[in-house]
Structure 1
Amino acid sequence: MTQPLVAIVGRPNVGKSTLFNRLAGKDRALVQAIPGVTRDLNYADIRFEKKRFTLVDTGGLSTIHTDELTAEVNQQVDLAIDSADAIIFLLDGREGLTPEDEDITNRLRKVAKPVYWVVNKVDSGHLEELTYDFFRLGVEKLYSISAREKVGVHALFVEVTRDFPTEERAEEDREDEARPTRVAFVGVPNAGKSSAINRILGEKRLIVSELPGTTRDAIRVPFQLDGQEYELIDTAGLRRKSKVEYGVEKLTAIKALQALDDTDIAIIMHEADRPLTDQTLRIFSYAEERGRGIILVINKIDLVQGDKGWRERIKSDLGRRMVGLEWVPIIFSSAKTGEGFDELFRAVSIVRENQLRRLTTGPLNRCLEMAVAHHAAPMTHNRSVNFYYMTQVSIRPPTFIVFTNQPGSIHFAYRRYLLNRVREFAPFEGTPIRMLFRSRPKKGKAE
């Protein structure tokens, strides 16, 4: 999993390398009171508060010098800004606000990713007053620090890394990417779950009967295809609560739902000769709520292939019943003849890749900008809804945070609109995606 990247930018000699070394723990970057000492990009992997990220120290950004070396440094800084998930713009509290700071601020306003305006070299109380002048930049929050004296640095990086994944979550993600993909076959009784697994395995490993309820426990079978390892999970059929009897059937239903809790991808099986039922839709909801990948398999097409227009009829029924689930891939199959099973595992591979997909902040914010430009959010309480930036904070399922001035006023229809724009922007077929809304910090100073 790629670590978040944080770039430190600013004019020459504002203390970027000192701040970089403060986090890196040693003198990784040259520090001298001479403008332009750092000319190349310096990288360090940082561990902070159980979170890991890559910190980049950049050369001094200049908007007034036009020599060839300055142009090369500016080009490298632009590369760091484009690649970063968050940007720290460092200002010099001793020197005060300069026209170049204003030029760089105007440049960073066009960057659709979190930018932290940080006033450095605030080493004593009376210098604290000098930071007020920087509010002329029109930013919502300033952080006053002294990189040399370690003042305010911890509070700054608590804020910068707030939405970064923890080491535990990152380790879980790495383990999940390495272990076999768990694929659970779920559905109503007698939908062909065991037959489907037997067809995949090429042998009769599971008991198959026309009598509903043959499978009593969740059965796990290892399987390998094209170098990829899977764990196939056969589950008991799930009936409506009112039809589930106490005792063994109640227990098997619980185990089937527990298998969904422990799986990566739910293959929901349904018979081709029956309309989609409310119970199958409830299984969709259960899997979606838990963030599982979902593939719908319309099985037993051998029973209907003699009917003219069977495929169109089924698709029409699915389109009517699966509103809001258009992202779920649909496979037509027959466990009896083997039709559709090559396509099924291609879909499994794609869904797993989409579950683990991470988008960087830059592309995500281009998506957000285009979405809002095409269709702005409706006003609430006579106030416009402004969106600042969007970032991805986790996978399985992919989860995004959108920073806005009115996080509690986003209508569910507009939330769905933004989710659909993200799906159009990047391939997330077969996986739920989450979108959360948060407010940006109000104007004020860091402790």
Structure 2
Amino acid sequence: MSTLRGLDITSAADLGTAAGSAELLTLPWDVALEDWPEQYLAALPRGISRHVVRFAHLAGAVVAVKETTEANARREYNLLRRLERLDVPCVEPLAVVSGRVDASGEPLPTMLVTRHLRFSLPYRAVFSQKLRQDTLTRLVDALALLLVQLHLEGFYWGDVSLSNTLFRRDAGDFAAYLVDAETGELHPSLSRGQREHDLEIARVNIAGELMDLMNGGFIEPEVDPLATSERILDAYRRLWDELTGDLSFSADERWRVEERIRRLNDLGFDVEEFAIRSTADGSELVLQPKVVDPGHHHRRLMGLTGLDVQENQARRLLRDIDEFRMVHHPEMDEHESAHLWTSEVFEPVVRAIPRELSLKLEPAEVMHQLLEHRWYLSEEQSREVPLQEALSTYVDQVLRNRRDEDAVILHPTTTMLRAVSSDQEPNPSRDD
């Protein structure tokens, strides 16, 4: 705790060079926050808040400063620190500043200082123009995921809303972060009633926020605020069931991991990472879902392997890369393991395709279909089918019966598909 003319600054022991207690003393704490000079302020979009909130420059960084009561500031500061240690997506608390007085000696409200979350935006600023239905759906899905993560840690929010959330789009992610924990409570675990109460608060608040946006002309007219707000109930409950449902399996049942991930994909969530923990009865699956933007998987696979493929192909190949790393090389970082997967899995599969079948499909689609074929075989036989065994049946039963996609063109006059030899120019005048 540091004191200067009655000013008390309570902060974490290690804030780094950007926001130590000494740096905090340079801000104009003797001025009401709404009157802070522009020279201290950062021009960032602000969400709706019941308190006065400003963004300020601090030694090359940006902090969010909120006026509130001392009791609320200290309580929220401590809650955010506990959530941070639990690795829950939330803003980072930096300090509580109390004992403030203005130039005439009049007391001023206590301040809570948090680090600004880079690349984040309040929901109203996610798009500069009208919010589309699909964007709102993704915002609600991201908020549902955040609420599940908080509830799993025993955190009751008490004021779930889009306004109390920051959204970040970075490298394909679309994630929600808790920004206001003033009404929150952290328990060892939550009852169903506590979780359902948070959900009802979310539904009502989101509906009101969307109606407000609609009245201001900020969302497309075909958006139904009530139906959109109801989505969080369904998304939350289905995601909660998938994440809390037991999944134990033996070493030869890893296909069941794929089954669970597919169900999450069907709910609109991808899996950022997953882990398998050994138990007395076998293994247990731990998943970390997220909401991603279109093109995320393509960009990630390109960065890891250099493979330029379609989005769904990339999604499936990335799952295999992640599993390859988890099972065989958990000590490696993802770039190393992806390089090894390319040389030890992908390239041998491509080389194993008979030359006469090499024009059937592009290599990435072959790999994608092989992995799908292997999963179906494993599910059907209730065992983990080895990749080489699946490759053999895939080549003979699936690939051999396909037409050469590299040699299929659209007939210019009849719009019928016809195949041509790979070393022969198509003849438009020929009737097939």
Structure 1 length-normalised TM: 0.22
Q: Which has the higher contact order (CA 8 A, sep 6+)?
A: 1
Structure with the higher helix share, 1 or 2? 2
